[in-house]
Amino acid sequence: MKLLSTKATCNSHGQDSSYFLGWQEYEKNPYDHVQNPKGIIQMGLAENQLSFDLLESWLAKNQDVGGFKRDGKSIFRELALFQDYHGLPSFKKALVDFMAEIRGNKVTFDPNHIVLTAGATSANETLMFCLAEKGEAFLLPTPYYPGFDRDLKWRTGVEIVPIQCTSSNNFQMTESALQQAHEDAKKKNLKVKGVLVTNPSNPLGTTMSKNELNLLIDFIKDKNMHLISDEIYSGTVFTSPNFVSVMEILNERTDKDFLDANVSERVHIVYSLSKDLGLPGFRVGAIYSDNETVVAAATKMSSFGLVSSQTQYLLSAMLGDKKFTRNYLSENQKRLKKRQKMLVNGLQKAGISCLKTNNAGLFCWVDMRNLLTSDTFEAEMDLWKKILYEVGLNISPGSSCHCTEPGWFRVCFANMSEDTLNLAMKRLKDFVSNSNGEEGSNSDNKRTRSSQSSRSFTRKSISNWVFRLSSRDHHEQEER
């Protein structure tokens, strides 16, 4: 071990989380309606599988593109050879046009200001390297995506300071919470370089209002810092209020103080096709910035995680088909809305509610506080283990998302069939019914091995065990 680096042997990857443990347990015992009908149903994966038929239909109608042909002639050799890490101009143009379309064409994007990356994970880490030094900090509103502890911190050495948001106002960010987080960082002798938000939010499944976005803009203007808006879920908004990009806010601000401060050069957008198109395996992400120095530095760094030329060629044709993209976005949003309603109704039948402002994303922020034996995170972990091992559902505890209130969970709905979702809701309803009045009466039906595993876990053993899985983490993460 002495021959290895500190990075290779340290426990700072972010794997020490119930979020990742649930993934591991699912992989040991995955549900299959034929082969393993009592297995664990994966509801911890924010993956969009609802509109693959639309993508496959387009590919079937455009076989030349899928076969890497142009005007009937093969361009395989052209695509197989080395490509400049600035990316294919045709793809960058198609991507920025698609981003504008998602935003109702209220804003436009300059393809010269976009940097291609291997997913949003790479984009966020690259921005950390560009904007902060090791030991400096970014503020993030809670609850936030568990993978940020890995993406933002592990290799960069940047720290995260939470902006504490609560259910009292549906977890919206407030000025007092922002200021308190900044004070907390100062007390820890941390220099704050910026704020990172996800809009729409992961895990809340909500969009930020213009008031919240203007609050953020004013905050970074006054504090002379950066803002990163991770807008990876921007095309998944399925009901009102509509999505408002930070770019729209920047275009609306004409006050002299704002213009004099060059705030637009300190606002950066992260995007990916992993969620809106359901293509996490294609590894297509992007940074958009009006800061020329950031764009130049990020472009150089992108050489460590390029998007293949074949992928860019295929997607430039797909995204360039405006008739297809219009139909896809509309139909995908309808399907997301229907599926979200199915989850909400199923939970309601079990006596469980969701965050009422949920209007986006591939998940719901679910309130299970009424099922806790006490108002503690220990009780949340006990409930989570029962749902994982006894009910056979992998969901993500709020504590893994740094939520300050025990009893909230993120539950995904777009990565499974309707039949599987209905089965998951039936399992949960039966569990709640048994917990409320018939606890113990169905013990013969519980999976003996899973129950024993559940009883054997403590918070410490979870931490130690999950770290040992880090070498396999590429199978156990939500690809962005």
Q: How far apart are CA 296 and CA 114, in angstroms?
A: 10
Q: How far apart are CA 355 and CA 428, in angstroms?
A: 18
Q: Cis link prior to 241 (omega < 30° from 0)? A: yes
Taking alpha carbons only, the member of 398, 389, 391, 381 closest to residue 425 is: 391
CB 155, CB 201: distance < 8 Å: no
Hey, which residues are catalytic here? Answer: 145, 230, 232, 275
H or E stretch including 433?
A: helix 418-437
Q: Which residues contact 291 (CB under 8 A, 6 or more apart)?
A: 265, 266, 268
CB 118, CB 307: distance < 8 Å: yes
H or E stretch including 185?
A: helix 175-187
Q: Which residues contact 80 (CB under 8 A, 6 or more apart)?
A: 309, 310
CB 333, CB 238: distance < 8 Å: yes
